């Protein structure tokens, strides 16, 4: 499934992407409650973190709803009015980041062998962790705001894991049990501030510096997250083109390693690092973002995330 957070008719909800349509899970759950059965957990909140916190029961209910909606769509005798307020055209909704209020955003530095090489750095012996605040999250198509205090803003395509099950000291062999799914993440970075500070938090934490989405693709649809093509285009010019196979530390290792330090909770985001091709290391000279650009980051079978770049005004 492709789960989404969206607004339609001035109402926020969570839903499922289906053939360029969005199923409103909250409305559909109420509409089909009798058919779903009395023991089914009701989906009644637009908060994706709350949805994920209900565990496999929420996913099971969502799958049942998809089956019911598909049967209604295929039933030529079904009343069209049954779909009113329940099924929306993709063009008629505003998509948000699939998780807009995670408790944590944990990011990886230098986790691709090709990126470490272009940066002139040795491959790390252990994962390098840093964080971004939830206030950095931006929706699909929302402008990335180019800060007044920076002159070197860069892009970084990343595969992000979304945690679905709470855990601490998670064994590597149980890591996938704690993952709900995956999304596309752009680790936007103010390089002059990042390199000037000598650490990464401030230069990567500006508002809108964590665009994410458009979908949360559930894990059963991504059998091997360690073997996905991913890349970046700026104004349709290819900049990054690599594969998650170049990650130094693979997905299960990252979940296990991070959970040694902190309890992972439903809705937490783990951004797994970026491959080679970032703007700051382009040759013969850097190719950094500027106001007026459009940056598009994509991951095979996960999605395409597009954001314009706008100047920050006083």
Residue extents of the structural domains in the chain: 2-95, 100-311
| CATH dotted code for 2-95 | 2.30.30.230
Please tell me the distance from the alpha carbon of residue 183 to that of residue 163, in angstroms, as a whole number: 11
Q: Which among 161, 297, 186, 182 is positioned nearest to 231, based on CA atoms? A: 297
**Strand positions, DSSP E, the chain:** 2-8, 11-18, 21-24, 87-89, 94-96, 105-109, 128-132, 137-138, 144-146, 153-154, 157-163, 179-186, 189-190, 210-218, 229-234, 237-243, 269-271, 294-299, 303-311
Encode pLDDT of 275-311 as tens digits.
Answer: 999 999 999 999 999 999 999 999 999 999 999 999 9
Superfamily of domain 100-311: Fumarylacetoacetase-like, C-terminal domain (3.90.850.10)
Greater model confidence, 78 or 43: 43
Please tell me the distance from the alpha carbon of residue 251 to that of residue 167, in angstroms, as a whole number: 15
pLDDT score recorded for residue 39: 57
> Against a cut of 0.75, is the pTM above it?
yes
Angle 298-299-305 from CA coordinates, rounded to 5° = 35
43: pLDDT confidence band, cut at 50, 70 and 90? confident
Encode pLDDT of 147-165 as tens digits.
Answer: 999 999 999 999 999 999 9
Encode pLDDT of 169-224 as tens digits.
Answer: 999 999 999 999 999 999 999 999 999 998 999 999 999 999 999 999 999 999 99
Does residue 19 come out as left (phi exceeding 0), alpha (psi in the -120 to 50 range) or beta?
A: left
């Amino acid at each position: 499934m492709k789960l989404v957070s969206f607004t339609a008719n001035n109402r926020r909800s969570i839903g499922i992407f289906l053939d360029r349509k969005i199923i409103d899970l909250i409305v559909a759950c109420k509409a089909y409650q009798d058919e779903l059965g009395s023991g089914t957990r009701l989906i009644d909140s637009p908060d994706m973190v709350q949805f994920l916190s209900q565990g496999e029961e929420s996913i099971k209910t969502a799958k049942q709803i998809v089956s019911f909606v598909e049967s209604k769509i295929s039933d030529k005798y079904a009343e069209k009015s049954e779909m009113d307020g329940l099924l929306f055209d993709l063009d008629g909704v505003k998509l948000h980041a699939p998780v807009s209020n995670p408790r944590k955003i944990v990011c990886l530095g230098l986790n691709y062998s090709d990126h470490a090489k272009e940066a002139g750095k040795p491959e790390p012996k252990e994962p390098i962790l840093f964080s971004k605040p939830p206030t950095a999250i931006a929706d699909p198509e929302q402008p990335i705001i180019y800060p007044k205090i920076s002159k070197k803003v860069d892009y970084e395509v990343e595969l992000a894991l979304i945690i679905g099950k709470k855990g601490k000291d998670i064994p590597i062999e149980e890591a996938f049990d704690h993952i709900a799914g995956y999304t596309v993440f752009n680790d936007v970075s103010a390089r002059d501030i990042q390199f000037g500070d000598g650490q990464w938090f401030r230069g990567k934490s500006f508002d809108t510096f964590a665009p994410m989405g458009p979908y949360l693709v559930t894990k059963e649809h991504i059998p091997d997250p360690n073997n996905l093509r991913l890349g970046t285009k700026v104004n349709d010019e290819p900049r990054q083109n690599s594969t998650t196979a170049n990650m130094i530390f693979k997905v299960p290792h990252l979940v296990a390693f991070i959970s040694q330090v902190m309890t992972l909770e439903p809705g937490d985001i783990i951004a797994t690092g970026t491959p080679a091709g970032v703007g700051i290391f382009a040759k013969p000279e850097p190719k950094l973002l500027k106001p007026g650009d459009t940056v598009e980051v994509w991951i095979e079978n996960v999605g395409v995330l597009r954001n314009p770049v706008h100047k920050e005004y006083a």
